[in-house]
Structure 1
Amino acid sequence: MRNQYLTSRGDICYEFVLYKTRTQAQADRECAVNGGNLVTVKDKRVEDFIGDMLHKLRYNGRVWIGLNDIATEGEYHWSTGKKATYLNWAPHEPTLFLSTIEDCVILDVKKHMQWFDTPCHLRQYEYICEYSIEQDVSRCPADLIRNQYLTARGDICYEFVLHQTKIHTHAEQECAVNGGNLVTVKDKSVEDFIGDMLHKFRYNERVWIGLNDIITEGEYHWSTGEKATYFNWAPHEPTMFLSTFEDCVILDVKKDMQWLDTPCLIGFHHYICEYREYPLVTHLCH
């Protein structure tokens, strides 16, 4: 079913099942029908994304998430089997006096997205499924190295060039060799995807993106020629007093993924290339 309840972020497809209720076990089984599981809220960024989606869908109830301590009391794991490292319990949760029967977890939108432990089989709630998206890089340019730094999202292949640094012009030229360009961060969802990938690589430096005002001062376009409509400037950026020669842009991971304008020909940075029209195939979100 393709509708407003189905969306993707990074390499995960999310299904917001807000039109029926199930017990936790039933919900997890329904997710498993399509090869998924109840959602893993691995960190604050995922939680914020889920919160944004639920707000968009005008939902303010409670949903099952994949967290539970069914296997061992007090040791919380996700439905995938992965041990939980991020937790957002409501005050006085999990409740110790009912701990032996409250083995599953709900997320309460009204209570600031906080979590409550609850019995797995007594109550029914809406739920969120997640599915891993197969990253099909077979249709990325043939000369690109197939490794963890090459991935696909939608109809774009992304190459994270974190093993060498270039000035902006040379980075753009390297992308162009295989028919690409420096990355277009057209909206928050793309930025979140890039942030997730860089976090996965444990990378916390600066990368070139395709934004620049080389042609007309103060008019920012992407390397594709498309006019920019989304920005995530750091405070006091772009710098006005150096604007005539700071025509290119870097994304600073340490500064919450914010952007800084900088000279195109002076700084050496890693970079991200994108290659268009190489579709990604998945069973649910495509």
Structure 2
Amino acid sequence: MADYERAENECIYNGGHLAYVDSAFSNSYILESVKNLTSSDFWIGAKRYKEPMNAAVSNIWIWTDQNRIISFSDWGLNEPSEGRDCGVMSTTDGSWYSSSCSSKRPYVCSFPTTKSYCDEGWTQFTKSDSCYKVFYYSNWTRAEETCVEQNAHLTSIHSPEEDEFIVGLSHCGVTFTGAGDSGFLQDTWIGLYTKTSRPGEYSWSDGTTVNYVNWRPSQPNAQGWQCILLNSDPNQESSTTSGWDDWECSHVLRNFVCKKPTTKVLILH
């Protein structure tokens, strides 16, 4: 039990602030979290803002964490009340009301943590903190364009673990049963390429540093081919086929893998 100021200071001391509520979901989540609380209410981070030089500005409510103006609210009937400047949530229905800041009651703190996630249809690889998705049948240029349309790029690869992950991912979705177009239809475009003006100098289309390669024997073979594929025949074990070759950018391969950073969300709890 604490008055509002002490409750906020206790939250700050522990790395947080009095609870911040940005949606009906957050409101319900906090209410569920305190279902065993015996008190009828508790402090949250809502506080009336008072402009020292303008007494007329007195009905703006902010959150204590960053002095943000409250956008979502769940005030009860005829709330907030004048002369009561600190926010309380009811343990009965989650509605808010204003109270004297000097009264003592339980309080709930919000602590920021970061969670990474991928959009629906994308697969996360934790080590690279990135999201990946397989698309099918394209030359290199159109594949990169497709990835850019997805706010991504053709995949870069920076470790043996990521390489193995890409090989496994590229096996998903389509199984090819024949040698087909020069035997290359079963392969996968990745984002490595070299410019005509600088043959042999390779770059990733996402601009990241080339700090890992996995060329197959005798590759690259310096025949003027500018784009790099990953051997990923889904009919064979990856250990017998994985590795990189240079190839003609205009060639249509079985699939390609796009890569983009995970989305970071701030979880307040």
Give the TM-score normalised by structure 2: 0.44
Greater Rg over alpha carbons, structure: 2
